[in-house]
């Protein structure tokens, strides 16, 4: 194949619609995980134009790699690898591709998603208690969008528990929920909020 394993890997990364692990890529291309991880690192550096490792720019040029960052990048998100357009071009890409084609989440859906993200695993009744409104229809919408999923049942109440999905992590651009921003610095005077919620847990 022209370009060898490196080009084959790049071709696969260009068409996958969700992050793929190094193990999955290795199995699909019949290569070892070590080789795939090395190739992924090389592609990531090339797409970044060696902007992170400035001393390597000259070497990159000598090896035929561009020293200018591309309009896309290779990210390791939600446990896997995928090519994305750069965040700096989000507005341009949005106007060109997404205008009028994607339905935005409502404010109610965003608030419900935030509660689930920070309190997961959590039941619908618990989310309703926190938000003060019924969230059944919103939870169905978030489930249909692939942003949350069933996480088993509460051992005491038997209620279905919900958690965020890998697709949620992908859309947020983070590797795990531990990377979500901390809320406490933005909520002065609510130091005891965790104890308050836990006392009335459903």
What are the pLDDT digits (tens) for 135-185?
888 998 899 888 999 999 988 888 899 999 998 998 888 888 888 888 755
140-157: buried (b, 16+ CB within 10 Å) or exposed (e) per residue?
ebbeebebbbebeebeee
pLDDT at 133: 87
Mean pLDDT of the chain: 80
Backbone CA torsion sign across 83, 89, 91, 96: negative
- For the chain, the maximum distance between any two Cα atoms, rounded to a whole number of angstroms, is 65
Smallest CA-to-CA distance from 74 within 159, 9, 30, 137 is with 9
pLDDT of residue 54: 39
pLDDT value of residue 56:
44
- pLDDT of 83 over the 60 cut: yes
Q: Give the single-character DSSP code of 184.
A: G
Reported confidence tier of residue 106, pLDDT bands at 50, 70, 90? confident
Of 72-86, 98-112, 146-160, minimum mean pLDDT range: 98-112
CB of 197 closer than 8 Å to CB of 130: yes
pLDDT digits (tens, 9 = 90+) for 13-60: 988 878 899 999 999 999 999 999 999 999 999 998 864 443 444 444
Q: So what's the pLDDT on residue 105?
A: 82
- Proportion of the chain above pLDDT 90, given as a percent: 36
Helices and strands (H, E) in the chain, number of each type = 10, 5
Average pLDDT over every residue of 59-79: 70
pLDDT of residue 94 exceeding 80: no
Q: What is the CA radius of gyration of the chain?
A: 21
- CB atoms under 10 Å from CB of 136, counted, come to 11
């Amino acid at each position: 194949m022209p370009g060898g394993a490196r080009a084959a890997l790049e071709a696969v990364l260009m068409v996958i619609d969700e992050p793929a692990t190094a193990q999955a890529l290795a199995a699909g291309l019949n290569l070892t995980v070590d080789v795939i991880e090395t190739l992924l690192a090389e592609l990531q550096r090339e797409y970044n134009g060696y902007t992170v490792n400035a001393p390597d720019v000259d070497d990159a040029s000598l090896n035929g790699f561009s020293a200018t960052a591309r309009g896309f990048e290779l990210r390791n998100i939600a446990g896997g690898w995928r090519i994305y357009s750069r965040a700096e071009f989000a507005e341009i890409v949005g106007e060109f591709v997404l205008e009028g084609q994607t339905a935005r989440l409502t404010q109610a859906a965003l608030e419900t998603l935030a509660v689930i993200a920070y309190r997961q695993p959590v039941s619908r009744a618990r989310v309703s208690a926190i938000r003060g409104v019924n969230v059944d229809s919103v939870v169905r919408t978030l489930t249909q969008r692939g942003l949350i999923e069933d996480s088993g049942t509460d051992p005491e109440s038997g209620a279905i528990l919900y958690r965020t999905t890998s697709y949620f992590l992908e859309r947020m651009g983070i590797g795990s929920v531990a990377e979500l921003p901390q809320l406490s610095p933005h909520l002065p005077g609510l130091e005891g909020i965790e104890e308050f919620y836990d006392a009335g847990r459903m």
